[in-house]
Chains A and B, each alone.
Chain A
Amino acid sequence: RKEVEQDPGPFNVPEGATVAFNCTYSNSASQSFFWYRQDCRKEPKLLMSVYSSGNEDGRFTAQLNRASQYISLLIRDSKLSDSATYLCVVTPWTGKLIFGQGTTLQVKP
């Protein structure tokens, strides 16, 4: 079983749609959780950290459920510029980043 699992997609949605990505992780001792965004042939960029209390940044909302070892990302009012691969990332106590496979989002006009 992979340490971090994501549905690779692709998710094809129209502009303005709301889309949700899910991620599960296997190590219950994981300490930190992130969503990164990666554009084609570019480096990943931090989108947001994820907390148990849930956190929101504009159109993006992230949620962590430690009991279920589940992380989610909700994007509201999708824009064309949101098209990218979204990486679920988990950090154990070692500080290493463990990446999921990524979920590809394609927002269409």
Chain B
Amino acid sequence: GAVVSQHPSWVICKSGTSVKIECRSLDFQATTMFWYRQFPKQSLMLMATSNEGSKATYEQGVEKDKFLINHASLTLSTLTVTSAHPEDSSFYICSARERGQGKNYGYTFGSGTRLTVV
């Protein structure tokens, strides 16, 4: 089945630094990739929708200058958390659906990145 590879799995960084998270669709083309954030004991909240070759669409309340998204190819999307602060510590996860799949097919998720900012 479709696989989305997400790296890194976990990262600890100092406050003020930037962290890049990558998601690659390994065996399919992902025109659209979604980026989510999940705080402990809460559900996944959509941060932004990334479309190959165009600007990402951010959800209300998500700072686009802080969470930079790049979707330069049909198999790679990146999320960069700039000037990270402890409140950005969370579980970040991407998901994608294979191009051409029907609406009831469901989405494939990356394995997630646990970010801790100290």
On whether the two chains bind one another, the answer is yes
Interface residues of A (CB under 8 A from B): 31-32, 34, 41-46, 49, 51, 87, 91, 94-102
Question: Interface 1/0s, chain B 89-116, versus A by CB < 8 A?
Answer: 0010101010000011111111110100
In the assembled complex, the CB of A43 is this many whole angstroms from the nearest CB of chain B, namely: 4
Question: Interface 1/0s, chain B 36-52, versus A by CB < 8 A?
Answer: 10000011111001000
A99 B103 Cβ-Cβ under 8 A: no
CA distance A98 to B44 in the complex (A): 8
Determine the interface band of chain B, counting residues with CB < 8 A from chain A: 20 to 34
List 25 A-B pairs, Cβ < 8 Å. Answer: A32-B103, A34-B106, A41-B91, A42-B111, A43-B110, A43-B111, A43-B112, A44-B93, A44-B109, A45-B109, A49-B104, A87-B43, A94-B49, A95-B32, A95-B97, A95-B103, A96-B34, A96-B46, A96-B49, A97-B34, A97-B44, A99-B43, A99-B44, A101-B43, A102-B43
B104 A98 Cβ-Cβ under 8 A: no
- Tally the A-B contacts, defined by beta carbons under 8 Å: 48
Contacts of A96 in B (CB 8 A): 34, 46, 49
Question: Interface 1/0s, chain B 7-23, versus A by CB < 8 A?
Answer: 00000000000000000
CA distance A51 to B104 in the complex (A): 9
CB < 8 Å neighbour of A42 from B36, B103, B106, B112: B112
